[in-house]
């Protein structure tokens, strides 16, 4: 991106540079022609240079376009606003550098012009020295010394005129230059203003985007917090419900344990050989209907009759009393152990 920006500027440079070189070259040419063709000075006031400068100006017109470019750019979406910002900042920086470059170039141009003038002056002085040499030679020739003097006077006047005209021309050129400069400055100011506006607009948009983003973030945060609170409330509610359920299941379980104990006590006929030392443990598996799915003697009493009495008792119940609640059933009654251990033998 940044590279591209640089490239945009560098590509924009040649059309911007070339007219300046061209103008310098043309000015020099004019001076040379003017000095060389002393006799045909009349075309000095000819408009061509004007047309050239006008052409130059028109050529300079597209200059700000790369800077203004961001103006035409469509609004970036919010996610990209930061990048846009960055890009704009970079652009501003590029612009700043470009302007500096331009100022530098102007200064250089001026220096070059100055140099050209100086050279022209030197050239002129050299020409004058040559002319003087030639006049002196003519005078020595005597025949036409006076005429030459007159001619010299005329020449001098004409040169003076020429000088004045050149001065005016120079002033006019300077004026033109100043005007151009003014215009350029105005354009520059305009461009800056536009840039500033664009920047401000961009900044505004960025701030707006930021604000929106922040708002959205805040909103999201609030939403998140609300949701978290809701979730927490829900969780607590669920936990409370779970606890209540747990308690209810436990009490249900106890109720049905007592029922099962009662039913089995009625169904169990401890054999005569039973003693209080005998214990048989049976693992029971029930169906959700309360029907016995399976029974397994996990610990024998060591007395076959006793074990049989326990097995028979467990199998004698057609349906075990079990809670309606499926969860309680699964938790407690799907599988459990029954221990037969007589405590109150008569």
Partner 1 sequence: MTKRTWTTSHKAVAAALAALIMLATGARAELLIRITEGADAALPISVVPFAENGAIPPGDKISEIVRSDLAMSGEFRPLPAEKMLSLPSRREEVYFRDWRMLGQRYVLVGELSRNDDRVVARYELFDVNQEKRILGETAAASVNSMRTLGHHISDKVYEAITGVPGAFSTKLAYVTLDTFNGKPRYRLQVSDVDGKRAKIRLESQEPILSPAWSPDGSRLAYVSFETGKPAIYIHELATGKRTKVADFPGLNSAPAWSDDGRSLLMTLSKDGNAEIYRMDLATRAVNKLTNHWAIDTEAAYDHAGEGMFFTSDRSGGPQIYHKESLDSEPRRITFGSRYNARPRPDDKGDFVYYVHQRESDFHIARTNLKTGVETVLTRTGADESPSLSPNGQMLIYATKQSGKSVLTVISADGAAAYSLPSPEGEVRDPAWGPIVN
CB of 296 to partner 1, least distance (A): 13
CB of 228 to partner 1, least distance (A): 23
Longest CA–CA separation in the chain, Å: 179
Q: Which is nearer to partner 1, 173 or 313 (CB)?
A: 313
From candidates 273, 285, 289, 299, binder to partner 1 by CB under 8 A: 273
Name the burial class of residue 310, with classes exposed (0-12), middle (13-18) and buried (19+) by CB atoms within 10 angstroms of its CB: buried
37: helix, strand or coil: coil
243 contacts partner 1 (rule: CB under 8 A): no
Question: Looking at 7-15, 187-195, 202-210, 252-260, which segment touches partner 1 (CB under 8 A)?
Answer: 252-260
Question: Looking at 39-47, 109-117, 208-216, 336-344, which segment touches partner 1 (CB under 8 A)?
Answer: 336-344
CB of 66 to partner 1, least distance (A): 50
From candidates 27, 260, 323, 329, binder to partner 1 by CB under 8 A: 260
248 contacts partner 1 (rule: CB under 8 A): no
From candidates 266, 285, 289, 299, binder to partner 1 by CB under 8 A: 266
Distances, alpha carbon 335 to alpha carbons 260, 282, 294, in Å: 13, 10, 9
From candidates 66, 271, 290, 321, binder to partner 1 by CB under 8 A: 271
Question: Looking at 106-114, 139-147, 200-208, 329-337, which segment touches partner 1 (CB under 8 A)?
Answer: 329-337
CB 284 within 8 A of CB 306: no
From candidates 99, 145, 257, 300, binder to partner 1 by CB under 8 A: 257
Name the burial class of residue 51, with classes exposed (0-12), middle (13-18) and buried (19+) by CB atoms within 10 angstroms of its CB: exposed
268 contacts partner 1 (rule: CB under 8 A): yes
* Segment 299 to 328, residues that bind partner 1, using CB under 8 A: 303-306, 308-316
Q: Which is nearer to partner 1, 158 or 331 (CB)?
A: 331
Q: What is the DSSP letter of 76?
A: P
* Segment 198 to 227, residues that bind partner 1, using CB under 8 A: none
- Report CA Rg, the chain: 55
Sign, CA dihedral 196-197-198-204, equals positive
Look at the chain and count its residues. Answer: 346
From candidates 164, 261, 319, 326, binder to partner 1 by CB under 8 A: 261
CB 247 within 8 A of CB 286: no
272 contacts partner 1 (rule: CB under 8 A): yes
Sign, CA dihedral 101-105-108-114, equals negative
CB of 329 to partner 1, least distance (A): 11
The pair of structure tokens assigned to 280 is: 């048989």
194 contacts partner 1 (rule: CB under 8 A): no
The pair of structure tokens assigned to 60 is: 């300079």
340 contacts partner 1 (rule: CB under 8 A): yes
Distances, alpha carbon 314 to alpha carbons 255, 278, 311, in Å: 19, 17, 5
Helix, strand, coil distribution of the chain in percent, nearest 5: 75, 5, 15
Q: Which is nearer to partner 1, 31 or 274 (CB)?
A: 274
Q: Which is nearer to partner 1, 25 or 269 (CB)?
A: 269
Q: Which is nearer to partner 1, 177 or 253 (CB)?
A: 253
Beta strands in the chain (DSSP E): 280-286, 292-299, 335-340
The residue count for binding partner 1 (CB under 8 A) is 43
Q: How many CB atoms lie within 10 A of CB 86?
A: 13
Interface residues with partner 1 (CB under 8 A)? 253, 257, 260-261, 264-274, 303-306, 308-316, 331-333, 335-346
């Amino acid at each position: 991106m940044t590279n591209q920006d640089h490239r945009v500027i560098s590509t924009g440079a040649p059309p911007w540079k070339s007219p300046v070189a061209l103008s310098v070259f043309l000015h020099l040419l004019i001076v040379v022609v003017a000095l060389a063709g002393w006799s045909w000075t009349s075309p000095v006031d000819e408009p061509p240079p004007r047309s050239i400068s006008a052409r130059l100006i028109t050529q300079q017109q597209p200059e700000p376009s790369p800077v203004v470019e961001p103006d035409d750019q469509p609004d970036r979406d919010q996610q990209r606003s930061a990048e846009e910002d960055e890009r704009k900042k970079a652009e501003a920086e590029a612009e700043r550098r470009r302007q500096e470059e331009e100022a530098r170039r102007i200064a250089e141009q001026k220096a070059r012009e100055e140099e050209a003038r100086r050279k022209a002056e030197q050239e002129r002085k050299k020409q004058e020295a040559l002319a003087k040499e030639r006049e002196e030679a003519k005078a020595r020739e005597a025949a036409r010394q006076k005429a030459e003097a007159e001619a010299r006077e005329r020449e001098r006047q004409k040169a003076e005129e020429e000088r004045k005209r050149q001065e005016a021309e120079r002033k006019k050129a300077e004026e033109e230059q100043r005007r151009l400069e003014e215009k350029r400055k105005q354009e520059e100011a305009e461009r800056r203003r536009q840039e500033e506006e664009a920047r401000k607009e961009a900044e505004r948009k960025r701030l707006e985007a930021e604000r929106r983003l922040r708002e959205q973030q805040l909103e999201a945060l609030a939403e998140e917090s609300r949701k978290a609170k809701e979730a927490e409330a829900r969780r607590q509610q669920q936990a409370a419900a779970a606890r209540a359920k747990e308690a209810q299941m436990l009490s249900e379980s106890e109720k049905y344990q007592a029922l099962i104990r009662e039913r089995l006590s009625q169904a169990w006929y401890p054999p005569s050989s039973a003693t209080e030392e005998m214990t048989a443990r049976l693992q029971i598996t029930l169906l959700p209907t309360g029907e016995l799915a399976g029974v397994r003697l996990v610990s024998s009493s060591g007395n076959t009759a006793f074990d049989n009495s326990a097995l028979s008792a467990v199998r004698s119940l057609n349906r075990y009393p079990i809670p309606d609640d499926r969860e309680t059933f699964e938790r407690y009654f799907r599988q459990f152990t029954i221990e037969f251990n007589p405590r109150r033998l008569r």
